[in-house]
Amino acid sequence: MSPLKQLTQQERINFLLTNRIPRRWATLFFGWFSRIENPLLCKVSLAAWKLFADDLDLHESKQTRFKSLHECFIRELKEGARPIDADPQVMVSPCDAVVGAHGRIENDTLFQAKGFPYEALDLLGDPERVARFRDGTYVTLRLKSTMYHRFHAPYDCAVREVNYISGDTWNVNPIALERVERLFCKNERAVIDLEVSESRPPLTLVPIAAILVASLRLHFLEQNLELRYKGPNRIACDAAFTKGEEMGYFQHGSTIVVLAHKDYQLHEAVAFGDRIRMGQPLLRLP
């Protein structure tokens, strides 16, 4: 079997397994299991994980031994492992990812996969936000479970509010995106508006949870945003970041949709299916 066919078969099996079980309870159970601090259990779990994900690479990690799977999922990298592009016209990728659907927002319509459109209002839940990005640019960044799970500021910016939208925990792999309509609009997510410095047009990050993942830690909020969260949806804050500074992390892997004003253009190096690293060019101002 060719590597491509093998990958597709693995994704189909993954889709069937993860979307035919109670997703909420599976996610809560895995969240508990991943935090068990037992080096032997962690070692066995990592070995089992590598059987299904041979691209798990820890050589850039600050630490090589972990007390729990959770420690591995949220691992930090060695100093200098992700150089930040210094071009003042460039907005960098906030995370390591595989580049998914991207392009111009057609009025208010984006695509999660070919033939699967969704509306910006369904994703963002706020008409005022939708108006900012009409005919703008979007990029879908998929964080595989094996990747570095922390995300960073794409430019110097401030965050004044986070809008947390509770939802489901569908798998977000390519097979699911080609089968489940409006998937991103159904899943747990947070809408993070970035006030970009130097009077540049706005950006918004939408981290989207998935099965086994639904927990988002933002360093500037006291609480985790997760299935058990019962607080207000709109959370006021006052946080400032420099380009490349860490903002938070997923627990396992998921997706970030980046929405940009129409003045931004996709960087010429961005292509569907390519891997991009945090700190590499993602968007550019002309």
| pLDDT tens per residue, range 194-203 | 999 777 898 9
Given 34, 93, 145, 254, the catalytic residue? 254
pLDDT tens for each residue of 84-136: 999 999 999 999 999 999 999 998 999 999 889 999 999 999 999 999 999 99
Phi, psi of 130 (to 5 degrees): -60, -45
pLDDT tens for each residue of 134-143: 999 999 999 9
Please check the confidence at residue 7 and state whether its pLDDT lies above 60.
Answer: no
User: Would you state the pLDDT for residue 229?
Assistant: 75
Phi, psi of 42 (to 5 degrees): -65, -45
> Do the Cβ atoms of 202 and 132 come closer than 8 Å?
yes
Residue type, position 72, single letter? C
User: Would you state the pLDDT for residue 71?
Assistant: 85
Closest-CA residue to 165 (of 250, 232, 77): 232
Given 152, 252, 261, 267, the catalytic residue? 152
The SS3 of residue 2 is: coil
User: Would you state the pLDDT for residue 217?
Assistant: 87
Residue 96 falls in the annotated catalytic set: yes
> Which DSSP helix (H) or strand (E) runs through 102?
strand 97-104
Percent of the chain surpassing pLDDT 90: 55
CB atoms within 10 A of CB 138: 22
Given 34, 70, 93, 96, the catalytic residue? 96
Token couple for 248: 């938070």
Please check the confidence at residue 250 and state whether its pLDDT lies above 70.
Answer: yes
CB atoms within 10 A of CB 21: 11
Closest-CA residue to 247 (of 117, 92, 16): 92
CB atoms within 10 A of CB 122: 14
pTM as predicted: 0.86
